[in-house]
Structure 1
């Protein structure tokens, strides 16, 4: 069921962002439970966590307009064709995510644990993704999107 959850497409191995090239991305089904050292977090962790949670919800909200999803996705302007391609997918229109934990790994990065739901039923519990600070906005990382898309093994532009 997880392979058909979201707008599933390309292989996650080809999905890197320019800032973390070569860095490993947690599997969307793998969770981490580490606490951030005091020096490895934003100046205002509470505000940053709030924005991560809000933007994650927006990105995975099936009712959110494409332009709003683009704003909360790392390099969203470049990935708009990918988002557009899947905006009509029925499974994507039925999917949502609830963030359960945010662990800052640096002042500009965070591991995010979330539950992915389809029609209100948890389909991918305790999934792991990454949020990145880009242009002073906490965004869903390209790696996270591509890891989800990659579960189906279909090629997708941008991943």
Structure 2
């Protein structure tokens, strides 16, 4: 009797696992079609036109990304200005403030060496992180985000550098 109950119970769990897997497989295409690939914007169409992989004026966008990254990593740029150059800058103000007085941060700058657009509002940025003018992390990779009409250093990039430093900062 106990053995029969165990077999039924195992059988019930197996059926439940199979049903759960079938449900996930059946719902996956529906969930994927509902995903937010539009950056939260509505009005996307199901046309066969290719996705936008660059801003309307890539030359101007590259110039702004280069200018903003250079300013963001310039130790002479005030925190208030850096807030404007960082994705979700106001929320990240405490992180920026923590670095404002750091002697290593005061010697750090960046030189953008390459930009590749991933969408109309996103770009991969290759840059050299310089300390005292000398490359400390050449060929570093980061991302830039178009937010409120301005190309900004992504929070992901800043937090990646924070993580590399071995420091734990609230907000990253």
TM-score higher than 0.5: yes
Of 92, 101, 113, 2:126 maps to 113
Structure 1 residue 94 corresponds to structure 2 residue 102: no
Q: Greater share of helix residues, 1 or 2?
A: 2
- C-alpha RMSD of matched pairs (Å): 1.7
Which runs of 5 or more structure 2 residues have no equivalent in the other structure?
Answer: 1-35, 38-49
CA–CA distance in 1 between the matches of 2:165 and 2:66?
Answer: 26
CA distances 1:43-89 after superposition (whole Å, capped 9, x unpaired) = 00001110000000010001001111110000000000110111000
- Counterpart secondary structure, 1:90: coil
Question: Is 2:138 the counterpart of 1:154?
Answer: no
CA distance in 2, matches of 1:79, 1:152: 17
Alignment of 1:40-119 (within 5 A): 40-119=53-132
TM-score normalized with structure 1 length: 0.75
SS in 2 for 1:69: helix
Q: Deviations over 1:69-118 (max 9, x none)?
A: 11000000000011011100000000000000000000000000000100
Q: How many residues align?
A: 125
Question: Is residue 133 of structure 1 aligned with residue 113 of structure 2?
Answer: no
Partner residue of 2:5? none
Give, in angstroms, the shift of residue 38 of structure 1: 8.7
Gaps of 5+ in 1: 1-18, 21-36
Q: TM-score, normalised by structure 2?
A: 0.70
SS at match of 1:156: coil
Greater relative contact order: 1 or 2 (C-alpha under 8 angstroms, separation 6 or more)? 1
